[in-house]
Structure 1
Amino acid sequence: MSYPYLCPVCGTNRSRFNIIEQIPFAVKKDARSGIITERVPEGDPLHHHYRGDEYRVQCGICGVIENEQVFIKSAQRNPL
């Protein structure tokens, strides 16, 4: 997070961003009601656990949400 960002969509924002921390938790749901019946423990061999980004970044001007690397690469391609 200590790299310069540039919004890849609006192309002007270099200073206003929302850092979105993704905190997934695995659950089992009732198929009919949709109610969560239990949390799935780590290491459950029948459940694939989340392997996505730990953080996402949102432009504070236009609202686009992307992987942090997209904002970093955009700033590297267009330095100040």
Structure 2
Amino acid sequence: MKPMLCPNCKTNRTRFHFIEQHPKAVKLNPQTGEIEQEYANESLEPFHLPYRGPSYRVQCGVCGLIEDAEMFIQRAKLAQMGRET
């Protein structure tokens, strides 16, 4: 893991929540919203793209901002370079 700094509150470097994402591909009934079918990534229908997002996101334990981990890592790098605003 790399150092992190919240890009929103700009003070938190230590308190975070790592939120694991477990996407589930489904087909919904357009009228009821009920799940009609669940798919494995190998068996997706045409026009149903596989999930391409991050496997986890980060929430600041101080202000509550939720972003990709890279946002927090990049903010820490800028601060280490003395470019913090």
Q: Do they fold alike, i.e. is TM over 0.5?
A: yes
- CA deviation map 1:22-80 (0-9, x unaligned): 1101001111110011202322241211101111111000001111111001111112x
Unaligned runs of 5+ in 1: none
Q: Pairwise CA RMSD of aligned residues?
A: 1.0
Residues 51-66 of structure 1: matches in 2 within 5 Å? 51-66=52-67
Alignment of 1:1-80 (within 5 A): 2-43=1-42, 44-46=44-46, 47-79=48-80
Q: Percent identity?
A: 46
2:5 maps to a residue whose letter is: L
TM-score by length of 1: 0.90
Write 1 or 2 for the structure with the bigger share of helix: 2
